[in-house]
């Protein structure tokens, strides 16, 4: 008894000590949290150790923790003169308290200088704050790039409804955020979405921007939703000048005083069971007051009718997806052979019916259709604003439609009516390559001869895009699901030229909009947003290895080991066991040709982009078996390479899914 009594306090002390230890461990590991994302701007110049620039940077950033400007969650200062001048901007999320803001920025400064050693310009984002510095003047200027996107791959249950509610919420938050003052441009709020969900969203600009600049930045961020976050429930988009986040779980502090949040923030409004009612709910509320006034029935009727007309008109103006209205304005006649009438497409796709839906690409759903002359088409219904005016859009479509090659899916035309933007493509009967090669049964039907033909066809299509067409298109999202197959299993590349149709600066080869698909993206594209023909070559190399092995690069496993296909292929090739890579369901075909393809694939995925061959030499290598191939060097991601540090921020997107 006594023992036990004595034990109790001491064991509780042990437990509390353990807890303390645990907390210390946790706080130690969280003391150096990783950025959600960061960019080191390699091309903007380097400083040397202990140079004047280095000293100025240190001085500037160390004043962060003592500066009172941070009390507003925004910090903009510069240090030094002339070419050694350093400018820095720090911004915390609008609802973050000054002390957390200070410590977030303090963490950022340590990590950013560590992650981007000697880089004159860098930018990093944490959950609660953003820090950037540069030798350029960065105050009072709207900078929409670089951009990062983080998402969780969970689809909203009622996608169209979800997107509608989200759009309305973001539109209203956008106005509130951009009309903020010079200390804070921030808005957060929530709205009742379909399936009992509440959508929480947040928008923020750096407050040194003008109202117009802030608005421009947010419009771009909102249109970036199309890139990867369309229809998903969780997403973050960050730009130097503004950021956006939405989620179906609450993530911001709605009690923060400065948050001009919606009234529904404390307790989410009761979800509506009838999903059709959500979009009109607000409007009927406001008109309800009018109707409640006691007036003769006749007046009420007149009022009701006019309100109905008004609501319908507004609904039609706003609605993006709903074309169930019977009357459709037909005032836009085809101005040239490429322009389709909306009605024609609607009839052809049976009013965009679910049965006609072929799938969804990065820019919106794709429907199968049949024109009255019997021609089959595929219609891509662009989901949101491309950020481009009608004329520019038409001009770009005309250019992209001129790209014609047997290994490209042909763009037949477009439709531009009201807010709808549709792209009309030739219909390619078989499904995409991923449907075949990653399926253990279906891929058995793809013998080596077919696979070799597919590899060759993709190479030719890509060569045309890169070098032979007058536009010199870089695809940027080349992957097995973007390769369609016709009746004879000829490959056709789809989704090319999308960067032209959406506002992306193609001229400088560095948009910093990382929009590719993880697993296919070249390291320089993931890390610095640099794309070039060589980043397409990298994606091509990944596809070649996937076609040979019948395995996905991401999520590849062999026995117990989980590693990526590229590393597996390289190790085996190096150790002379390259035949381990070959899909064993493929039991015929020239061994030499297969090994040669693996070799070419490995040349394409080399870390150093200068070492990767261009498409012209790849086509040559595939055609001429006598050509001696160079020895490939190590692919990226194999051992701890410099850049590996940013990968976990992408894993963030998948970690939350389970």
Ligand X SMILES: *[C@@H]1O[C@H](CO)[C@@H](O)[C@H](O)[C@H]1NC(C)=O
Short-list 591, 624, 592, 609, CA closest to 539 = 609
172 binds ligand X (CB under 6 A): yes
Give the residue with the Cβ less far from ligand X, 472 or 655. Answer: 655
Q: Which one, of 419, 403, 625, lies nearest residue 495 by Cα?
A: 403
- How far is it, in rounded angstroms, from Cα 359 to Cα 447? 27
Compare residues 22 and 154 and give the one whose CB is closer to ligand X.
154
User: CB of 497: closest distance to ligand X in angstroms?
Assistant: 22
Does 110 engage in binding with ligand X (CB under 6 A)? yes
Binding mask 597-616 for ligand X (x = CB under 6 A): --------------------
**Judged by CB under 6 A, which of 7, 59, 97, 153 binds ligand X?**
153
**Residue 599's closest CA among 624, 573, 619, 581?**
573
Nearer to ligand X, 33 or 334 (CB): 33
SS3 265: helix
Q: Which stretches of 330-410 are assigned E, i.e. beta strand?
A: 357-361, 364-370, 376-381
Closer to ligand X by Cβ: residue 95 or 208: 208
Q: How far is the CB of 407 from ligand X (least distance, A)?
A: 24
Residue 319's CB is within 10 A of a number of other CB atoms, namely: 15
Footprint on residues 430-469 left by ligand X (CB under 6 A): none
The continuous run of DSSP H or E covering 572 comes out as helix 565-574
> In angstroms, what is the minimal distance from the CB of 233 to ligand X?
10
Shortest separation between residue 359's beta carbon and ligand X, angstroms: 6
The residue annotated as part of the active site, out of 208, 216, 227, 477, is 477
CA-CA-CA-CA dihedral for 440, 445, 448, 451, to nearest 10: -80
Cβ-based neighbour number of residue 655 at 10 Å: 10
Secondary structure (3-state) at 202: strand
Q: Rounded to whole angstroms, how far apart are CA atoms 105 and 70?
A: 9
Q: How far is the CB of 139 from ligand X (least distance, A)?
A: 4
> Which of 147, 164, 176, 512 is in the footprint of ligand X by CB under 6 A?
176
CB nearer to ligand X: pick between 208 and 607? 208
- How far, in Å, CA of 104 to CA of 220, rounded? 26
Q: Applying CB under 6 A, which part among 133-141, 454-462, 534-542, 645-653 lies near ligand X?
A: 133-141
Q: Closer to ligand X at the Cβ: 94 or 601?
A: 94
**Least Å from the CB of residue 577 to ligand X:** 34
Give the strand pairing for 232-238 and 198-205.
unpaired
Residue 196 has, within 13 A of its CA and on its CB side, a CA count of 0
Q: How many CA atoms lie within 13 A of 632 on its CB side?
A: 28
Place of tokens 């955020």: 177
Does 139 bind ligand X (CB under 6 A)? Our answer is yes
Instruction: Choose which of 103, 254, 614, 645 interacts with ligand X (CB under 6 A).
Output: 103
How far apart, in whole angstroms, are the C-alpha atoms of residue 478 and residue 537? 9
Judge whether 503 and 518 are in contact, CB under 8 Å: no
Q: Decide if residue 360 touches ligand X (CB under 6 A).
A: yes
**83 in contact with ligand X (CB under 6 A):** yes
The residue range among 147-155, 237-245, 554-562, 588-596 that interacts with ligand X, by the rule CB under 6 A, is 147-155
Q: Is 247 left (phi over 0), alpha (psi -120 to 50) or beta?
A: beta
Looking at the Cβ atoms of 10 and 27, the one nearer to ligand X is: 27
| Among the residue ranges 142-150, 181-189, 308-316, 421-429, the one whose residues contact ligand X (CB under 6 A) | 181-189
Distance CA 143, CA 148 (A): 13
Of 101 and 424, which has the nearer Cβ to ligand X? 101
Among candidates 250, 227, 237, 156, which has minimal Cα distance to 203? 237
In the complex, minimum distance from the CB of residue 154 to ligand X, in angstroms, rounded to a whole number: 6
Can residue 226 be called a binding residue for ligand X (CB under 6 A)? Answer: no
**106: contact with ligand X by CB under 6 A:** yes
Give dist(CA 172, CA 188) in Å, integer.
Answer: 10
Assess 276 for contact with ligand X (CB under 6 A).
yes
Rounded-to-integer distance, Cα 112 and Cα 129, Å = 12
Residues 534-593 that bind ligand X (CB under 6 A): none
Distance spanning both ends of the chain, measured CA to CA: 47
Nearest to 222 by CA among 417, 415, 502: 502
Site track 253-272 with ligand X (rule: CB under 6 A), x = hit: -------xxxx---------
Residues 185-214 that bind ligand X (CB under 6 A): 187, 189, 207-208
Query: Nearest distance from residue 322's CB to ligand X, in Å?
Result: 8
By CB under 6 A, residue 173 contacts ligand X = yes
Binding map of ligand X across residues 52-71, x = CB under 6 A, - = no contact: -------------x------
Concerning whether 640 is annotated as a catalytic residue, the answer is no
Shortest Cβ 637–ligand X spacing (Å): 18
Among 12, 59, 155, 587, which residue interacts with ligand X (rule: CB under 6 A)? 155
Question: In degrees to the nearest 10, what's the CA dihedral of 384, 387, 392, 396?
Answer: -60
Closest to ligand X by CB, 76 vs 341, is 76
- Residue 135 binds ligand X (CB under 6 A): yes
Q: What is the DSSP letter of 408?
A: B
Residue in the shown chain whose Cβ atom is closest to ligand X: 45
**SS3 (DSSP) at 243:** strand
For 494-614, list the strands marked E by DSSP.
557-558, 561-562
In the complex, minimum distance from the CB of residue 622 to ligand X, in angstroms, rounded to a whole number:
31
3-state secondary structure of 286: helix
CB of 154 within 8 A of CB of 655? no
Range in contact with ligand X (rule: CB under 6 A) among 102-110, 247-255, 516-524, 555-563: 102-110
Residue 326 makes CB contacts below 8 A (sequence gap 6+) with none
CB 236, min distance to ligand X, A: 18
34, 76, 157, 645: which one binds ligand X (CB under 6 A): 76
In the complex with ligand X, the residue whose CB is nearer, 319 or 580, is 319
Residue 288 binds ligand X, judged by CB under 6 A: no
Residue with tokens 């050693």: 117
Interface residues toward ligand X, by CB under 6 A = 42-43, 45-46, 65, 76-77, 83, 103, 106, 110, 120, 135-136, 139, 153-155, 172-173, 176, 182, 187, 189, 207-208, 260-263, 274-276, 324, 359-360
- Please identify every residue annotated as catalytic: 477
């Amino acid at each position: 008894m006594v023992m036990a009594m004595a034990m109790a306090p001491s064991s509780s002390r042990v437990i509390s000590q353990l807890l303390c230890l645990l907390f210390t461990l946790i706080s130690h590991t969280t003391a150096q949290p990783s950025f959600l994302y960061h960019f080191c701007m390699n091309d903007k110049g380097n400083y040397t150790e202990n140079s004047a620039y280095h000293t100025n940077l240190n001085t500037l950033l160390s004043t962060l923790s003592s500066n009172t400007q941070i009390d507003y969650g925004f910090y903009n200062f510069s240090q030094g003169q002339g070419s050694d001048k350093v400018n820095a901007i720090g911004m915390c999320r609008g609802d973050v308290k000054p002390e957390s803001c200070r410590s977030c920025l303090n963490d950022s400064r340590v990590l950013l200088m560590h992650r981007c050693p000697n880089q004159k310009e860098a930018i990093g984002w944490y959950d609660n704050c953003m820090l950037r510095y540069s030798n350029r003047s960065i105050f009072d200027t709207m900078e929409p790039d670089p951009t990062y996107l983080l998402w969780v791959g969970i689809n909203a249950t009622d996608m169209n409804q979800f997107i509608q509610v989200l759009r309305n919420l973001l539109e209203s938050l956008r106005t509130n955020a951009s009309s903020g003052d010079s200390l804070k441009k921030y808005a957060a709020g929530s709205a009742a979405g379909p399936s009992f969900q509440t959508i929480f969203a947040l928008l923020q600009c750096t407050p040194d921007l003008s109202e117009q600049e802030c608005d421009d930045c947010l419009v771009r961020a909102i249109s970036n939703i199309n890139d990867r976050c369309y229809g998903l429930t969780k997403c973050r988009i960050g730009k130097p000048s503004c950021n956006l986040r939405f989620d179906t779980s609450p993530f911001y502090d709605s009690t923060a005083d400065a948050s001009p949040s919606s009234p529904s923030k404390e307790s989410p409004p009761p979800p509506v069971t009838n999903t059709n009612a959500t979009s009109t709910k607000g409007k009927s509320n406001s008109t309800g007051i009018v109707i409640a006034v006691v007036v003769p029935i006749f007046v009420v009727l007149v009022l009701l009718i006019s309100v109905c007309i008004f609501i319908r008109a507004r609904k039609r103006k706003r609605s993006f997806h709903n074309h169930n209205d019977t009357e459709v304005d037909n005032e836009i006649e085809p101005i040239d052979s490429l322009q389709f009438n909306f009605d024609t497409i609607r009839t052809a796709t049976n009013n965009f019916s679910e049965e006609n839906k072929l799938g969804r690409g990065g820019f919106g759903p794709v429907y199968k259709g049949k024109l009255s002359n019997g021609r089959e088409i595929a219609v891509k219904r662009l989901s949101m604003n491309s950020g481009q005016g009608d004329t520019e859009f038409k001009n770009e479509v005309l250019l992209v439609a001129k790209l014609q090659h047997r290994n490209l899916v042909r763009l037949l035309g477009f439709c531009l009516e009201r807010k709808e933007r549709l792209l009309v493509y030739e219909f390619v009967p078989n499904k995409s390559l991923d449907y075949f090669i990653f399926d253990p049964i279906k891929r058995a039907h793809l013998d080596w001869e077919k696979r070799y033909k597919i590899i060759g066809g993709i190479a030719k299509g890509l060569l045309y895009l890169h070098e032979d067409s007058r536009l010199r298109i870089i695809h940027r999202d080349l992957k097995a699901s973007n390769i369609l197959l016709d009746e004879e299993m000829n490959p056709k590349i789809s989704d090319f030229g999308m960067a032209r149709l959406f506002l992306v600066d193609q001229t400088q080869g560095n948009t910093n909009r990382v929009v590719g698909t993880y697993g296919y993206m070249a390291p320089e594209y993931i890390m610095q947003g640099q794309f070039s023909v060589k980043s397409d070559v990298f994606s091509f190399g990944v596809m070649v290895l996937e076609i040979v092995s019948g395995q996905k690069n991401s999520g590849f496993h062999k026995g117990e080991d989980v590693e990526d296909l590229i590393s597996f292929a390289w190790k085996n090739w190096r150790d002379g066991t390259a035949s381990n890579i070959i899909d064993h369901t493929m039991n015929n075909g020239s061994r030499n040709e297969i090994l040669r393809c693996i070799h070419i694939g490995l040349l394409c995925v080399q870390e150093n982009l200068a070492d990767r061959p261009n498409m012209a030499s790849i086509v040559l290598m595939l055609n001429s078996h006598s050509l001696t191939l160079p020895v490939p060097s190590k692919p990226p991601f194999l051992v701890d390479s410099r850049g590996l540090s940013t990968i976990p921020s992408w894993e963030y997107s998948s970690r939350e899914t389970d």
